Amino acid sequence: MSAILAIAFKVFQEVKKTKPALLLFFFVLLLLLLFPFTLKSDGTLQGQIQLFLSYSFLILSLALYSNSIFFTTLSFTSEIKGKQFYLIDCKSVARWQFFIGKFLGIALLNLFSLFCMGFILLMLVIYIKETQGTPEERQDVQEKIFTSYQGYLPYIPLEKLQAMVEKEYSKRKAENRLPSNIGEDEIKSQIKMQIQQQLQLIPQGYQRIWNFYDLPDGLRNTDQKIKLRYKVYISEAGSGFLCKVSWKIGRGANTYILEDKVKAGEYFEFTFPASTIDEKNSLEVHFLHKEEKSGMIYFPLEKGIELFYPYGSFYGNYIRALFLIYFLSCFLIALSLFASSFLTFPVAIFFGLFVLFLGLITPFLLEISPLSTHTQEMAWEKITDILSYSILQFSFFVVPDFFYYAPTESLSLGRYIEWKILGESILKLLFLRSALFTLIGCFLFRHREVGKPIM
Amino acid sequence: MYEVIETINLSKNFQDFWGRTKAKALDRLNLKIYRGEIFGLLGPNGSGKTTTVKLLLGLLFPTSGKIKILGSSPRSVICKKYLGFLPEESYLYPYQNAQEALFFYGRLFGLSRSVCKKRVDDLLDMVGLGKARLRPLKEFSKGMARRIGIAQALINDPEVVFLDEPTSGLDPVGTREIKDLILQLKEHGKTVFLCSHLLSDVEDICDKIAILYGGKIRCEGTVGDLLSKKTATQILLEDIPAPLLQELTLWLQAKGIKPHVEKPRERLETFFLNIIQQARMQQAPTSGAMQGIKKEDFFSQNPLPEKKEVNPVLAQLVQTVQEEPEELDAIPQEKEEEKKETLSPAAKGVLEHLVTSPKEEKTEVQPPPVAKESKGKKDILQKLLGGFIKKEQS
């Protein structure tokens, strides 16, 4: 253990006394300090803080990710190239101990730098909140950003939906309208999506009701405010069109009614009292389409309407956000060590950056990949399909979706970052992916001839 | 006596990406090095010395054959606990200072903080860097870096020490100190594996040597055996007067022995070059450096400017060397017969006492001269090596 700790501690010495790492640290710090004074938002305090949080977290996470790849690769490969590793390898240190020592050192270094930066950022956010804007704006920020909200999606009656899908499928089959080159599962999933989209369409003069079930016990008896977040699109009108909306929340005496005008294509939020929740901890939300100048109103399937209720503090959320970034950086450290265990510096760093890039565009890749459109039956038709399918499947298994774990949006919108996500990141990023890369890396490094042939 | 290092038919081929053999670095190397020996491995550039050391330390893997260090594989972590290694160049971290570097290596061996701290202090004093302990290693001269390298090789009180060019970059005083240190290590039962190009160093301190060329051992044995001339008997005389010498010579000639009177001196360098020359004559394959151009050729191609003044000391030295054989052989032939029977009893007595064969000489051979160390340094060394002695006794 003392050998692992000695190697880990040496990483700190290395950083402390090497100028590039310190310069990078101060550059990121300067960038973060300058942000609040250079960014232009919509003029509101809420907008300014949201923009500041989004950009600074983006810079912070990208700096940490790229630095994890760069510094890990440099630190590992330079020891082999500079032959300092010869002296370590001749001591009673197993190679896996060297590997783990490096991982531990860089992971601790990341933890230290991330939390230093995170603390500075937090102080800046508090400073902006306390010194700028009107008292009302500050109150607004307190409610919308400095309180973290748990999100709820409306209930979807899956059995009913499935029955509708089966019926539609049978009907199309009877009418011989099924495409021949797509499998049954894929057709049914397309039909399901079409039906769900149809259900989100509201013609003029009609109303749509959503139900939110199983809300937390006792919430209705608190004086907390519940938030509804939504976005609408309007047919026969472009984005930016001002549309009249009419909401009725709850049933009976505890009903909250809102009439408002919103811009199409943008997110809007409004709050209402928790007393609108009924005795069964459910909430009924009615939307009435009263706009005469427009055609149908459409709520997008993805995050078209969401309910939020206060669940925790901003500070807890903030720490969880930092840990999410940290676990992603740990994954990148393990990946870079793995690459450095058998590759030279330029190749290993290219590999690390490529995986980072792949992780950042994963949502886009998933959208365009055969995994989302093809069924397995289709893919087996050609050898190339089999290959591409297998490579993609493997890539998505190995490379995590960075946006899935990215906390920036949740933090700036005041959404509660669930412990579940944090647990998932520990399990999938640390215990599964990082451990896998570390194991393979240790194995490869153990069998690597570090001595160079000099003849 | 047991084998501390043993190689059995050790071969190493360097291969390219496709597994094709590019060069044969070592060819069926068989070595046996016993405990307490100082073993010197000699060879020209590219002969396979460094490859051998890397193989013995597990930095390279053998293509075929076996290596046993202290009875186990060189890649065994337990075995490495008893090894110390000074590489050809001091591969140290430039951002550490001397104290941090030694502390780091000590911690790698699992030494406790207090033990480690004490050892670091003692070793820094021993290598004469006590005052430079907080200076960054990047500011160290080559000699200072070598000293730190030696200190790190001894941090764990090793049983076997591999030293690759230990005296390169050191000044004459430092060189002497290191040589003394190596001899002290031997006194304490340590085994030293030494690679060096400085033949005089090897000759001074090594018990056994091997000469490597083209990846093969060309010659192996004790220094005494290898450097002694087996077909001759050497008579070592103190500086006797010329008439007495002449008298002795005539007496021997009268007995039918043709004496060859000179100050006998076989240098390892000559011997080493002879071995390499022989190997080259045989056109033995090697991927190392081939024979360069002769000095005469070099100077004829790159003529030096005419010197107006010659260093008088150097000139005198050169003259003495040229004249010496003439002086020693300057016994007139015509007087030989006369002097045959004229050996005085004193000369006979001198002969009886001083005639020794090389074999006898070997048994009475004195250990190489150990420079007188300061008491302080000896104490430190005793302290450092004390742990090992205790272990042995127990």
Give one DSSP letter per residue of A233-282, joined into a string: EETTS-TT-EEEEEEEESSTTS-EEEEEEEETTSEEEEEEEGGGS-TTS-
Tell me, what's the pLDDT at B319? 37
In angstroms, the CA B16 to CA B20 distance is: 5
Tokens, residue A26: 């101060």
Q: Which residue has the tokens 């500070």?
A: A315
CA atoms within 13 A on the CB side of B73: 9
Q: For residues B17 and B73, state if they share a domain.
A: yes
Q: Which residue has the tokens 């503090």?
A: A313
CB B361 within 8 A of CB B228: yes
Question: What residue of A is the nearest CA neighbor of B15?
Answer: A453
Query: Of B211, B219, B271, B223, which Cα lies nearest the Cα of B44?
Result: B211
Q: Which of A82, A94, A450 shows the shortest C-beta gap to B59?
A: A450
Higher pLDDT, A20 or A375: A20
Domain assignment present for B74: yes
Which residue among A10, A87, A453 places its CB closest to the CB of B85? A87
Q: Is A305 helix (H, G, I), strand (E, B) or coil?
A: strand
Which of the two residues, B33 and A42, has the higher pLDDT score? Answer: B33
Contact list in A for residue B49 (CB cut-off 8 A) is: none
Whether B23 sits inside 8 A of A87 (CB atoms) is: no
Contacts of A355 (CB under 8 A, 6+ apart): A332, A335, A398, A399
Residue B234 Cα distances to A197, B1, B21, B253, B259, angstroms: 110, 32, 49, 16, 10
Specify the CATH number for the domain of residue B191. Answer: 3.40.50.300
Of B312 and A312, the structure prediction assigns the larger pLDDT to A312
DSSP A343: S
pLDDT of residue B333: 42
Helix, strand or coil, per DSSP, at residue A180? coil
Q: Which of A2, A86, A91 sits opposite B59 (nearest CB)?
A: A86
CB contact under 8 A, A14 and B95: yes
Rounded to the nearest 5 degrees, what angle is found at the Cα of B383, between the Cα atoms of B377 and B387? 150
Q: Which of A326-340, A441-455, B178-192, B298-312 has the highest mean pLDDT?
A: A326-340
Query: For residue B189, is it left (φ>0), alpha (ψ between -120 and 50) or beta?
Result: left
Q: Kindly give the pairing relationship between strand B191-195 and strand B160-164.
A: parallel
Note whether B156 contacts A89, CB cutoff 8 Å. Answer: no
Q: Is residue B27 in a domain?
A: yes
Q: Which residue range forms the structural domain that includes residue B7?
A: 3-82+158-225+370-393
Question: pLDDT at position B4, please?
Answer: 87
Any domain includes B185: yes
Whole-number Å distance between alpha carbons of A69 and A74: 8
pLDDT averaged over every residue in chain A: 85
Nearest residue in chain B measured CA to CA from A79: B93
Total count of residues recorded for chain A = 455
Q: Does B277 fall in a domain?
A: no
CATH 2.60.120 positions along chain A are 158-312
Which of B22, B57, B136 has the CB atom closest to A90's CB atom? Answer: B57
Encode chain B in three state secondary structure.
Answer: CCEEEEEEEEEEEEECCCCCEEEEEEEEEEEEEECCCEEEEECCCCCCHHHHHHHHCCCCCCCEEEEEECCECCCCHHHHCCEEEECCCCCCCCCCEHHHHHHHHHHHCCCCHHHHHHHHHHHHHHCCCHHHCCCEHHHCCHHHHHHHHHHHHCCCCCCEEEEECCCCCCCHHHHHHHHHHHHHHHHCCCEEEEECCCHHHHHHHCCEEEEEECCEEEEEEEHHHHHCCCCCCEECCCCCCHHHHHHHHHHHHHCCCCCCCCCCCCCHHHHHHHHHHHHHHCCCCCCCCCCCCCHHHHHHHCCCCCCCCCCHHHHHHHHHHHHHHHHHCCCCHHHHHHHCCCCCHHHHHHHHHHEECHHHHHHCCCCCCCCCCCHHHHHHHHHHHHHHHHHHHC
Q: What is the pLDDT of residue A303?
A: 78
Q: What confidence score (pLDDT) does residue B378 get? A: 53
- Does residue B332 form part of some domain? no
- Residues A208-243: pLDDT tens digits? 898 898 888 888 888 788 888 898 888 776 666 778
The pLDDT of residue A45 = 85
Residue A196 has pLDDT above 80, yes or no: yes
Mutate one of A7, A79, A91 to test the B interface: name it (highest B CB count within 10 A): A91
Q: Is the pLDDT higher at A285 or at A374?
A: A285
| Rounded average pLDDT over A112-124 | 90
Q: Which two tokens stand for residue A357?
A: 């890039």
Q: How confident is the model at residue A293 (pLDDT cuts 50, 70, 90)?
A: confident
Helix (H) or strand (E) holding A231: strand A225-231
User: Is A84–B91 a contact, with Cβ atoms under 8 angstroms apart?
Assistant: yes
Interacting residues of B184 by C-beta distance below 8 A, sequence separation 6+: B381, B385
Alpha-carbon gap, residue B77 to A85, rounded angstroms: 15
Euclidean distance between CA atoms B314 and A237, whole angstroms: 104
Question: Tokens representing B294?
Answer: 């002769």
Name residue A365's amino acid. Answer: L
| Cα angle: B196, vertex B197, B199; to 5 degrees | 95
The low-confidence residues of chain B, meaning pLDDT below 50, are: 287-375, 381, 384, 386-394
Q: Please report the pLDDT score of residue A173 as a whole number.
A: 86
Residue with tokens 């519940």: A226
Sequence-distant (≥ 6) Cβ neighbours of residue B270 within 8 angstroms:
none
Query: Is residue B250 located within the same domain as residue B388?
Result: no
Instruction: Note whether ipTM > 0.85 here.
Output: no
Sheet holding A233-234, edge to edge: A201-202, A297-298, A233-234
- What's the confidence (pLDDT) of residue B349? 47
Tell me the C-alpha distance between A325 and A121, whole Å: 14
**What is the C-alpha separation between A360 and A404, in angstroms, rounded?**
10
* Beta carbons of B60 and A451 less than 8 Å apart: yes
Q: Tell me the backbone φ, ψ of residue A152, rounded to 5 degrees.
A: -130, 140
Question: 3-class DSSP state for residue A148?
Answer: strand
Same structural domain, B164 and B77: yes
Task: Name residue A256's beta-bridge partners.
Answer: A249
Let me know if residue B96 belongs to a domain. no
Q: Report how many domains make up chain B.
A: 2
pLDDT top residue among A67 and B388: A67
- Inter-chain touch B91–A454, beta carbons under 8 Å: no
pLDDT of residue A239: 65
3-state secondary structure of A296: coil
Would you call B89 and A83 a contact, using CB atoms and an 8 Å cutoff?
Answer: yes
Residues B245 and B374 in one domain: no
Which residues of A fall within a CB distance of 8 Å from B83? Answer: 90
Can you give the pLDDT at residue A179? 80
Residue A393 phi, psi (nearest 5) = -60, -45
Pairing of β B64-69 and β B3-15: antiparallel
Quick one: which of B153, B29, B136 has its CA closest to B85? B153
Q: Which residue(s) pair with B66 in the sheet?
A: B8
Chain A residues with CB inside 8 Å of B80's CB?
A: 90-93
Distances (CA, A) of B220 to B29, B39, B227: 11, 10, 11
Test the A interface: residue of B104, B146, B286 with most A CBs within 10 Å? B104
Residue A337: the pLDDT is 95
Fold of domain A158-312? Jelly Rolls (2.60.120)
Which range among A23-32, A115-124, A304-313, B30-39 shows the weakest confidence by mean pLDDT?
A23-32
Which pLDDT does position A36 carry in this prediction? 67
Q: Answer yes or no: do B288 and A14 touch at CB < 8 A.
A: no
Q: Residue B149's closest chain A neighbor by CA? A: A87
User: How many beta-carbon pairs under 8 angstroms link A with B?
Assistant: 97
State yes or no: pLDDT of A156 exceeds 80.
yes
Residues 6+ apart with CB under 8 A from B113: B107
Question: What pLDDT, on a 0 to 100 scale, did the predictor assign at position A444?
Answer: 94
- Whether B113 is in a domain gets the answer no
Nearest CA in chain A to B103: A6
Among B25, B83, B288, the residue with its CB nearest the CB of A453 is B25
B108 to A3: CB separation less than 8 angstroms, yes or no:
yes
Which residue of B lies nearest to A91 if distances are taken between CA atoms? B80
**Statement to judge: residues B210 and B250 lie in one domain:** no
pLDDT of residue B193: 93
Q: What is the pLDDT of residue A394?
A: 82
Cα-trace Rg, chain A: 27
Contacting A with CB below 8 Å, chain B residues are 14, 22-23, 25, 46, 50-51, 54, 57-61, 77-78, 80-81, 83-85, 87, 89, 91-93, 95-96, 100, 104-105, 107-111, 136, 152, 156, 162, 287-288
Q: Which of A84, A87, A455 sits opposite B287 (nearest CB)?
A: A455
Of A2, A5, A87, the CB nearest to B152: A87
A19 to chain B: closest CA residue? B95
Q: Which residues in chain B have Cβ-Cβ distances shorter than 8 Å to A91?
A: 80, 105, 108-109, 156
Sign for the CA dihedral angle at A72, A76, A79, A81 comes to negative
Q: Is the dihedral of CA A192, A196, A197, A199 positive or negative?
A: positive
Task: Report which of residues B333 and A147 the model is more confident about.
Answer: A147
- Joined tokens for residue B214: 């083209």
Contact B161, B154 (CB under 8 A): yes
Residue of B nearest to A101 (CA): B108
Cα–Cα distance, B156 to B78 (Å, whole number): 13
Contact (Cβ atoms closer than 8 angstroms) between residue A270 and residue A247: yes
Greater pLDDT, A17 or B246: B246
Chain A residue nearest residue B54, CA to CA:
A451
Mutate to test the interface with B, among A15, A89, A90, A98 (most CBs of B within 10 A): A90
